[in-house]
């Protein structure tokens, strides 16, 4: 086996970093991402650096020498390459109990929703990322159970366009650093420690894991066709990546599949984006369907 010198490795990485991304290629990638996922990436130094730094990793992975080569491969490729491209350009920032007041609100309204709609409560987390948010929703539902009929069965659908993070979410397994934000009481009640390949992980217990169904979903779909209406929809910290027309279309579709009296919960930074005649504001970034 031929030894590889350290400076040769550094030199190889440096060569990749030196590959230039033209404005023309930036625009092609940005337009493709917009058409696939609705993510709006105008030509700015920040976005230029983002696309360059993320796609250069794909150049390394496929042993390509230019962004033009990758574009040609993407054009000819199938669903796997498209999924890889979306995953590379999707920002996945999440944690347990992020924007915690939303879960306090959820816990307070679930008993009333159960009385109004019966024992079959349906919730949707429309941007599940690596899963911390849907598992937090599931834990909150469990903690609200004391004030609901024992027959009440909250069902949670967790979706994301990024198949790679969705796969991780479905396992419910996290490293210690990924457990950030989870209080000790909830950690021991709803997760268990496991060992794999000599490392320790935390895995969601069946109590919350079995409440959730994970599935791919693209918010850019023309219509959201679900068999039943949802009583609570979380779609947090997604609209910030959309332009105004896309945001309006997504909000219209979310409201259409929300039961009257149900709640739409957005991210704190998105609370000013909603102007819909079918919604009334309840608290910060929380809306009820009229």
Active site annotation includes 177? no
Active site annotation includes 54? yes
Helices first, then strands: H and E counts in the chain: 11, 10
Q: What is the pLDDT of residue 272?
A: 75
54: CATH: 1.10.155.10
* DSSP E strand stretches across the chain: 122-125, 155-160, 173-174, 191-196, 199-204, 212-216, 230-235, 258-266, 279-283, 286-289
Catalytic residue among 98, 122, 160, 236: 160
| Whether residue 212 is found in the same domain as residue 70 | no
Exposure b/e, 47-74, CB count within 10 A at least 16 = b: ebebbbebbbebbeeeebeebeebbeeb
Q: What is the pLDDT of residue 110?
A: 97
| Whether residue 178 is found in the same domain as residue 42 | no
Number of neighbours of residue 249 by Cβ within 10 angstroms: 15
C-alpha dihedral, 28 to 30 to 34 to 38, nearest 10° = 170
Task: Decide if 234 is inside a domain.
Answer: yes
197: CATH: 3.40.50.150
Q: What is the pLDDT of residue 230?
A: 98
Residue 23 domain boundaries: 6-89
What pLDDT tens digit does each residue of the chain (290 aa) get? 444 443 444 444 446 667 899 999 999 999 999 999 999 999 999 999 999 999 999 999 999 999 999 999 999 988 999 999 999 999 888 999 999 999 999 999 999 999 999 889 999 999 999 999 999 999 999 999 999 999 999 999 999 999 999 999 999 999 999 998 999 999 999 999 999 888 999 999 999 999 999 999 999 999 999 999 999 999 999 999 999 999 999 999 999 999 999 999 999 999 876 889 999 999 999 999 99
Q: What is the pLDDT of residue 34?
A: 97
| Whether residue 239 is found in the same domain as residue 183 | yes
Q: State how many domains the chain has.
A: 2
Minimal CA–CA distance to 51: which of 81, 24, 11?
A: 24
Task: Decide if 27 is inside a domain.
Answer: yes
Domain boundary at 89, 112, 138, which? 89
Minimal CA–CA distance to 38: which of 251, 262, 193?
A: 251
* 116 contacts 164 by C-beta, under 8 angstroms: no
Q: What is the pLDDT of residue 3?
A: 42
Q: Tokens 């457990």, residue?
A: 179
Catalytic residue among 54, 189, 203, 284: 54
CA angle 73–78–82, rounded 5-degree value: 80
| Whether residue 76 is found in the same domain as residue 154 | no
Strand-strand pairing, 286-289 and 279-283: antiparallel
DSSP reduced 3-state for 257: coil
Residue 132 CB contacts under 8 Å (≥ 6 apart), including other chains: 94, 95, 96, 98, 174, 178, 181
């Amino acid at each position: 086996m031929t030894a590889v010198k350290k400076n040769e490795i550094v030199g190889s990485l440096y060569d990749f970093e030196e590959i230039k991304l033209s404005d023309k290629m930036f625009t092609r990638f940005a337009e493709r991402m917009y058409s696939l996922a609705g993510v709006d990436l105008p030509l700015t130094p920040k976005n230029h650096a983002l696309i360059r730094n993320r796609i250069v990793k794909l150049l390394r992975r496929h042993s390509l020498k230019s962004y033009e080569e990758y574009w040609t491969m993407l054009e000819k490729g199938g669903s796997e390459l498209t999924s890889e491209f979306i995953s590379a350009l999707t920002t996945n920032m999440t944690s347990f109990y992020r924007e915690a007041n939303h879960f306090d609100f959820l816990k307070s309204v679930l008993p009333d929703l159960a009385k109004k709609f019966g024992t079959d409560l349906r919730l949707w987390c429309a941007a599940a990322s690596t899963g911390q948010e849907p598992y937090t929703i599931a834990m909150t539902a469990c903690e609200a159970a004391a004030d609901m009929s024992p027959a009440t069965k909250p069902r949670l659908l967790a979706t994301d366009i990024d198949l790679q993070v969705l796969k991780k979410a479905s396992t419910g397994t996290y490293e210690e650093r990924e457990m950030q934000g989870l209080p000790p009481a909830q950690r021991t009640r709803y997760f268990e420690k496991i060992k794999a390949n000599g490392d320790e992980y935390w895995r969601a217990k069946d109590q919350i894991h079995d409440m959730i169904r994970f599935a791919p979903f693209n918010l850019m779909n023309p219509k959201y066709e679900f068999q039943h209406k949802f009583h609570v929809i979380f779609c947090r910290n997604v609209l910030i990546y959309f332009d105004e027309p896309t945001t309006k279309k997504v909000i219209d579709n979310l409201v259409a599949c929300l039961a009257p009296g149900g709640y739409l919960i957005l991210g704190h930074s998105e609370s000013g984006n909603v102007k819909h005649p079918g919604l009334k504001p309840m608290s910060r970034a929380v809306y009820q369907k009229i």
